[in-house]
Every structure is written in structure tokens, then in C-alpha cells.
Amino acid sequence: MSTIKTIQQEILNSAQESEIEYFTFHKRRFERFEGFLNNQFPIDPQSAKLKGLDIGSHYLHSSMILADMGFEVDGMDVSIFWDMDFVKKRGAKFGINPIVENDLANMPEFQTTHDKYDLIVFTEIFEHITFNPIQLWKTIYQILKPGGKIYISTPNSLALANWARNFKNLITLQSVGITVDDIISKVTYGHHWKEYSAQEIKTYFHTLSDDFQVTINPYHYKELDLKPPYLAYKALSKIGNLTKKFAEELEVIVELKEKKSWKKELSEY
């Protein structure tokens, strides 16, 4: 059975409707992640297991993919997720080591860890960061092996449908940025406070260290039928996805070629 089919069967067996709906909606994104792993980290039975860290492991979807493909996996998230019985059982079943970390900004769990991970996964988290991220990325720089990679998936701020919606809200004097309805209606530890363009992400990492080499691949994974509701939004999304600059999603691969210099330190209040 393929990795994605194995993960899908695990989720179907859990019989949690909201999780099944989430995985089904994001399935093509997970398939893309599996393709990245096959391409960048082919399994070598003669070598020691590669080590992966899944930051924001949530229900362990990406962690299970890593484990099924031969990685030794640490799944890190806040206690509210690792306290769930089905997450604990799933982690034990797939051999995923739980790391409970409620302080993402400082990551105290890793203060004495160096050069441990071959891959750090940061999917659908980048846009949720609401604090100054310098110490977070300095810690990730510290725990990632030279030659290791960071895999990020995040919405594209230049996605055509979002750009059109934001422009409409601006010219009708309704709002700028995230709306009140978005803030009030969603249960989350952090909304999409900041979505990035490809150029912004390159600037972001080059500001932190010249050792980061950034590759960005625009893509999309959502299946959108051209019918109501939100027909105009769906049509614009499809048009944007035919381009690169205005596609819905960004796949970001950050390679740490070597460790020569870290450029930014967190300022005092």
C-alpha cells in the first residue's frame, strides 16, 4: 500500500468527521509532500535512519508520512493536541516521538540540541506566526544539520482571488487585511495574520542568514468546481493557478548548505 493510502486508511479508521474532511481537502498537498520526500530523501536501507521534526504536528498527518517513508520522527505541537487520546495512540502506532512545546517563540525543549535533524517540516504554520520569529528560526538553524532542509507550505499572498477580494474590501472601505469575521468566527491559536509572497519569503530567510538557500515553487492543491457558491472567487483562483506568480500556494524548500553566520538577534523591549 502506498504511503498516502496508508495514512488515508488510518484517518478513515479514526472516524472523526472533521479530520476526514480536512485530509480529503488537503490530500493533494500531502501527495506533493510525499513526492518531495521521494525526490530529495530516497531511502537507503544501508544508511542510518534520517531524522525529521514536524513542527505543528497537529493530528500527525505529515508525521505519519515521514514515519511510513522511513524517517525517525519527532512530532512537536502544543499540549492540547498531544493530550488527545487518538493522537497519543496514533503516535505510538507509527513510532512518532511526542514533543510537547507550548512556547514556539523560544522552543526551550531544544536549547541544548545541535545538528540533529535532516529535515524540519513547517507546513501551514508560517502564516500563523504572530510573534517576532528570530529566536524560533535561530533555534531551527541550530538543530538542523548542515546540508539539511526545511520544508514549508504556505498560502501565497499574491493569489489572484485573495488579491481581488482585498482590493474590493479596500475600495468599498470595508477593511484592510484580516477581517473581523475571520477573527471572530474561527477557533485557532493564530489566524492567518501574515501571508507572504515568494519575494518576501526569500528576503525573510536571507535577512536571517546567508547560509539559507531558498527555492520556491508556486502550486495549488484545492479542487474547485466552477459553480456557486463563490463562483467569482473560484474562477479567479483557477485563472491565478494557471500562472506562477498568482497561484494559491507556495512550496518553500530552505536548504542549510553550511553554518557560517547568523545575522539577526532579537532586540530587547
In whole angstroms, give the CA distance from residue 194 to residue 31: 26
pTM: 0.95
Residue 150, pLDDT > 90, answer yes
Model confidence at 268, pLDDT cuts 50, 70, 90, reads confident
Could you tell me the three cell numbers for 18? 472533521
Handedness of CA 65, 68, 71, 76 (dihedral sign): positive
Query: How many domains are contained in the chain?
Result: 1
Q: Is the peptide bond before 228 cis (omega within 30 degrees of 0)?
A: no
Question: pLDDT digit string (tens) for 89-140?
Answer: 999 999 999 999 999 999 999 999 999 999 999 999 999 999 999 999 999 9
Give the 3-state secondary structure of residue 251: strand
Q: Which whole-number Å values give the CA distances from 55 to 19, 63, 78, 126, 203, in the listed order?
A: 18, 9, 10, 10, 22
In a domain? residue 80: yes
In whole angstroms, give the CA distance from residue 58 to residue 61: 8
Question: pLDDT digit string (tens) for 49-67?
Answer: 999 999 999 999 999 999 9
CATH number of the domain residue 34 falls in: 3.40.50.150
3-state helix, strand, coil in the chain (%, to 5): 40, 20, 40
For residue 125, the enclosing domain spans 3-256
Residue 46, pLDDT > 80, answer no
Assess contact for 90 and 119: CB atoms under 8 A: no
Question: pLDDT digit string (tens) for 196-253?
Answer: 999 999 999 999 999 999 999 999 999 888 999 889 999 999 999 999 899 999 999 9
In a domain? residue 17: yes
In a domain? residue 265: no
Looking at the chain, the number of H-run helices and the number of E-run strands are 10, 7
Residue 189, pLDDT > 80, answer no
In whole angstroms, give the CA distance from residue 152 to residue 202: 12
In a domain? residue 263: no
In a domain? residue 261: no
Strand partners, 153: 123, 251
In a domain? residue 70: yes
Residue 45, pLDDT > 90, answer no
Residue 186: per-residue pLDDT? 86
Question: pLDDT digit string (tens) for 70-88?
Answer: 999 999 999 999 999 999 9
Give the 3-state secondary structure of residue 192: coil
In whole angstroms, give the CA distance from residue 203 to residue 139: 19
Residue 195, pLDDT > 90, answer yes
191 vs 7, more confident: 7
In a domain? residue 83: yes
Residue 191, pLDDT > 90, answer no
Residue 135: per-residue pLDDT? 97
DSSP annotation of 200 reads: H
In a domain? residue 67: yes
Alpha helix (H) residue ranges in 116-256: 134-143, 160-171, 180-185, 198-208, 231-241
